[in-house]
Amino acid sequence: FELNVRPQKIAGNGLLNMRAELRATWSRCQEVARRMDCEVVSIGILPTVQNVMLNPQNMSPLKRYAALNRQVLLMRGGTPLTLKIDGLDSLHTTHNDLMLESAATSIQVHLKVGQSESVRFYNSSLIASALTTAMAANAPLLFGRRLWDDSRIPLFEQAVDTGGKFPRVSFGRGYVRHSLLELFERNLSDHRILLPAELDQGPARMPYVRMHNGTIWNWNRPLIGFEPDGTPHLRIEHRPMSASPSSADLFADVAFYLGLVHHLAGLQDPPENRLPFEVAKENFYAAAKASLSASITWIDGRQHCISELVRDRVLPVAMEQLVHCEVSSELIEQAEAVLRGRLDRHQNGAIWQRRKFDAYSGDAVRLLREYIQRQNSQQPVCEWN
């Protein structure tokens, strides 16, 4: 299930208010779940999920999901989806419906930006994705196989493959040059309409543009929203970060993205002029595979190990940018401590899970029980032994 929070200003106590609201909602979810003799867990991929569980009988009754499932299979001519992921182990399998998608869980950060600055923030979000993915990776296991540190990335990309020329989930096809309108035009030219429907809203609300855009799930995508008075606005949705081991980890990841994207977007020499799009794309998939141990090419043109790059160069400027954005000093200090702890101990959610999986000889149930216990302690994952 998905939890949402009310939008907040980045400045001041906005992120602290958001954290308090999310924690309160999470506590209510825990109470309801326990009355049903269940537990809730925030994790990139549930290590105990089995392929047989992912079937239409277990699908949410919302009509949207049934329609998506029907249309994706229709576009594929009824041929099964193929899932192929090679990591420490290999997973090659087929699936007859869209339910593979439900195994992947993420943090989705919506950043509202002005039209004049939207190009810089979108391109900067693309470049930042390698680092945010590596820091937040928390999905190393699927169907008992040790795959990528963030196996959500290949899983989601392959789970909604419609067989078209361009995938509906991808890193994208290039930087934006003049306007985010380029992305909406690209969506229209590259992708068939997935959910044909007649909508009641008038053209001022752009219902068809928004509906079509909502069926293309690139890791960074533009969104059109509206203020209470009906004025439209632009948001950038940053989607590549895995669901977190704790609320402390979650808001450290959110803070890291916000600080990093503001830093990159504010550089006098745009980083997209220095880092070719294809290199940014290679960085992203390298980070999804090996997270903190990945080697990438940064905007200085040099190769770096991600953990060293973030610790020595990126984390300080990202945190400094949060100060410039007038983010609460309490949240900045807590986020920096969590992020630096991961780097110093070389442990994010993915690395902890894999270590425990190996220590428990592949016992995913035992792994998950300990994970939930530690998640409920509210300690960040860098402090889990």
Which residues does the chain have with pLDDT short of 70? none
pLDDT of residue 202: 85
By C-alpha distance, which of 243, 193, 250 is closest to 216? 193
186/201 Cα distance (integer angstroms):
23
Please give the model's pTM, rounded to 2 decimal places: 0.96
pLDDT of residue 72: 87
Q: What is the pLDDT of residues 81-120, one digit of tens each?
A: 899 999 999 999 998 888 999 999 999 999 999 999 999 9
Strands of the 220-226 sheet, one edge to the other: 109-113, 232-238, 220-226
Q: Could you give the angle at the alpha carbon of 135 between the alpha carbons of 247 and 267, nearest 5°?
A: 110
Residue type, 176: V
pLDDT of residue 246: 96
pLDDT of residue 231: 93
Task: Enter the DSSP assignment of 99.
Answer: G
Q: At what angle do helices 115-136 and 247-266 cross, to 10 degrees?
A: 140
- Token couple for 282: 């290679």
3-state secondary structure 10-51: CCECHHHHHHHHHHHHHHHHHHHHHHCCCCCCCCCCCCCCCH
267/323 Cα distance (integer angstroms):
16
By C-alpha distance, which of 134, 133, 155 is closest to 143? 155
The region that residue 22 occupies, defined by phi over 0 for left and psi between -120 and 50 for alpha, beta otherwise, is alpha
- Token couple for 337: 């401590």
Non-local CB neighbours of 228 within 8 Å, separated by 6+ positions:
none
351/375 Cα distance (integer angstroms):
15
Q: Could you give the angle at the alpha carbon of 365 between the alpha carbons of 362 and 370, nearest 5°?
A: 100
Can you list the positions of beta strands (E) in the chain?
81-86, 90-95, 109-113, 141-142, 145-146, 220-226, 232-238, 295-297, 303-305
Q: What is the pLDDT of residues 214-248, one digit of tens each?
A: 989 999 999 999 999 999 999 999 999 999 999 99
